[in-house]
Amino acid sequence: MGELQRLEKLYEGKAKRVYKTNIEKQFIVEYKDDATAFNGEKKGTISNKGLINNEMSAHLFKILADAGIENHFIELLNEREMLVKSVEIIPIEVMIRNVVAGSLAKRLGLDEGTELSKTVIEFAYKSDELGDPMINDYHIDALNLATKEQLDTIKSLSIKINEVLEKYFLEKDLRLIDYKLEFGLFENRVILADEISPDTCRLWDVNTNEKLDKDRFRRDLGNVEESYIEVLRRLKA
Ligand code: C5P
């Protein structure tokens, strides 16, 4: 098989690049410092974000694997790159909400921080051009984005992942408010893919409710890099 080689770029998104490798069924994901918000209207960079998100995602993927939840992470290669299973991404963004915030607060006219009596799962169609529009089970079925069985698996895995992550973050004095997951197909199984980082999660300090996530960039709250570093520090403590 020989030494691992990074081959051609397969995909470039707003925060990551995915490369083919010389090894069957393995890709390399490279994390960038680029940050966007509001469907790309706000652009910038967050210093060292790529390094932090690569390390934090690896850390959380290991926690989830230990809890029996298969995901695409294989190993960290260097500061910015991880080796992953070559999943075919299902074009659905899965939003998991434990507390009202962001677009849900706006849509329903609720205060951010309002507790939800149950976890809410929402779906969006993964499309940069369309700004990831919200869809429901019927759209997913009618447009063949996933089979009914795959969607059931996505929902049950999401609930399981939420139980593990909510508890884990709380041990680190962080409230997991909401976040986005992506799943993919690997050897005909639905497995967790993409990333889990302050770019994709809302994380509030358990004592002060200080925001320690991408809302600091979206809303110009300052101390963006510092907050990302603080989250990683707590996770590794
Ligand atoms: O914007 P909204 O409130 O719907 O976001 C819900 C959660 O999903 C937030 O944690 C946000 O960071 C994440 N999200 C994401 N990528 C998107 C949309 C939302 O990571 N394209």
pLDDT tens digit sequence for 150-184? 999 999 999 999 999 999 999 999 999 999 999 99
Cα 35 to Cα 42, 201, 211: the distances in Å are: 8, 14, 17
Nearest to 33 by CA among 12, 53, 4, 9: 53
Q: Is the CB of 147 under 6 A from ligand 1?
A: no
Structure tokens at 74: 């294989």
Residue 178 Cβ contacting ligand 1 at under 6 Å:
yes
| Strand positions, DSSP E, the chain | 6-12, 16-21, 26-31, 34-37, 42-45, 73-76, 81-85, 88-89, 92-99, 115-125, 134-135, 174-181, 183-186, 189-192, 201-205
Confidence check: pLDDT of 223 > 90: yes
What are 178-187's pLDDT values in tens digits? 999 999 999 9
Write down the pLDDT at residue 212: 98
pLDDT of residue 123: 99
* Nearest to 124, CA basis, from 115, 116, 133: 133
Mutate to test the pocket of ligand 1, among 125, 179, 231 (most ligand atoms within 8 A of CB): 179
Question: Distance (Å, rounded) from C-alpha 210 to C-alpha 20?
Answer: 39
* pLDDT reading at 227 higher than 90: yes
Average pLDDT over residues 122-131: 96
Binding site membership of 216 for ligand 1 (Cβ less than 6 Å)? no
* 100-120 mean pLDDT: 98
Read off φ and ψ for residue 179, nearest 5 degrees: -170, 170
Examine the pLDDT at 1 and tell me if it is beyond 70. Answer: no
Whether 123 is in the pocket of ligand 1, judged by its Cβ within 6 Å, is no
Atom of ligand 1 nearest to the CA of 177: 10
Which pLDDT band, with edges at 50, 70 and 90, does 211 fall under? very high
Q: How far is CA 144 from CA 61, 84, 140, in A?
A: 28, 26, 6
Closest to 84 (Cα-Cα) out of 161, 28, 145: 28
Candidates 91, 99, 70, 74; CA nearest to 157 is 70
Does the pLDDT of residue 2 top 90, yes or no? Answer: no
111, pLDDT greater than 70: yes
Q: At 149, is the pLDDT very low, low, confident or very high (cuts 50, 70, 90)? A: very high
Q: DSSP class of residue 114?
A: P
List of domains in the chain: 6-85 (3.30.200.20), 88-227 (3.30.470.20)
Q: How far is the CA of 2 from the centre of ligand 1 (A)?
A: 40
Q: What is the mean pLDDT of the chain?
A: 97
Quick one: which of 103, 112, 135 has its CA closest to 38? 103
| pLDDT band, residue 52 (cuts 50/70/90) | very high
What's the pLDDT score for residue 161? 99
Single-letter code of the amino acid located at 207: N
Distance CA(229)–CA(235), nearest Å, equals 10
**Counting atoms of ligand 1 from 1, which one is nearest the CA of 122?**
4
Q: How much distance in Å is there from the Cα of 175 to the middle of ligand 1?
A: 15
Asked if residue 57 has pLDDT above 70, the reply is yes
- Contact residues for 147 (Cβ-Cβ < 8 A; gap 6+): none
The whole-number average pLDDT for the span 137-161 is 98
The dihedral region occupied by 130, where left means phi > 0, alpha psi between -120 and 50, and beta the remainder, is: alpha
